[in-house]
Structure 1
């Protein structure tokens, strides 16, 4: 997931492209030895659009419904902020209509809500629970006792950087416990 987020960041920052369809099927885990040195890939750019030109021809809300950012479910225009959120939902799959999923996500993205979701994780995923909480706090800061879901102005790296660092820390922690 970390590498897919880095790929998305690069696609946006260097290529000027919004992917617009983050899903488990579009994140490919590869072995660098067999994939020309690539260590995971983000595929399927059928719904992608060049940043700030709106020329993709795709419908306003694109992607896999349970994995869409809250704002996109509520008909906001896609921004780079929505994709780290979509990657997070790959870990926390939910089902329902656009509005049902948006409302559920708003209620579940607090620390207590995430803990309830994570009770359903199998024991084999216990190691990623702290990562989920950390990413939840990055994506949904609490302001006036409410979670903030909007796109923040400024450099997209203010969101990508802490999320990638959270993954790096989790990976480092897993590596040190396996030694």
Structure 2
């Protein structure tokens, strides 16, 4: 078996397809996973806080998140000043794949940004990968996270089944068409316009 010096990784990426990244570290208070909320009402509050945060970043600063997943929707709890109860705040985390918008959207660098199980159908099914990332793609990711939470979280027991690393690796091995075909089964029932505008 010959070696190909320009080829690295199990997925066949070549050196020219690798892009440099910068590492940034942020420090903040400890947050909890979404499924650790105490009630459906708290879930709703955290969810809305994160959607509002995303809206603010998009509207005021022209930033798209581009990597929404269940692990990026977190919360923290503060004791109320009255000493009775606590307030909950949603935190939209992990903005390292975020991008500033420009007047003319450009294709995402050299690869698609996002967590595959929660990526927009249009991005997964595009024949011309990668394609430009739009607001509608982030909003579609929020929908998939919500569907995942409904199916996999038990708020009374404060448990959730996270997307498993093995599942994600399996999806990567099959690349994007596999995920797109799995989403097609879902779309049989809701019939979205493709692409969503």
Pairwise TM-score range, normalised by the shorter structure: 0.5 to 0.7
Please state which structure has a larger fraction of its residues in strand: 2
Root mean square deviation, CA, Å: 2.9
Structure 1 residue runs without a partner (length 5+): 112-136, 153-179
Closer, same or farther: CA 55–32 of 1 in aligned 2, 3 Å? farther
Contact 1:11 1:18 in 2 (8 A): yes
Deviation of 1:78 after TM superposition, in Å, equals 0.4
Closer, same or farther: CA 18–109 of 1 in aligned 2, 3 Å? same
Find the residue that maps to 1:52 and give its secondary structure: coil
Other-structure match for 2:51? 5
Please state which structure has a larger fraction of its residues in helix: 1
Contact 1:49 1:55 in 2 (8 A): no
Aligned with residue 98 of structure 1, among 173, 176, 181: 176
User: What is the rounded CA distance, in whole Å, between the counterparts of 1:7 and 1:31 in structure 2?
Assistant: 17
User: What is the rounded CA distance, in whole Å, between the counterparts of 1:56 and 1:43 in structure 2?
Assistant: 23
The structure with the largest alpha-carbon Rg is 2
How many residues align? The count is: 117
Other-structure match for 1:31? 77
Closer, same or farther: CA 107–57 of 1 in aligned 2, 3 Å? closer
Calculate the TM-score normalised by the size of structure 1: 0.55
User: What is the rounded CA distance, in whole Å, between the counterparts of 2:95 and 2:101 in structure 1?
Assistant: 13
Other-structure match for 1:41? 91
Calculate the TM-score normalised by the size of structure 2: 0.51
Find the residue that maps to 1:10 and give its secondary structure: helix
Moved over 3 A (4+): 53-60, 91-95
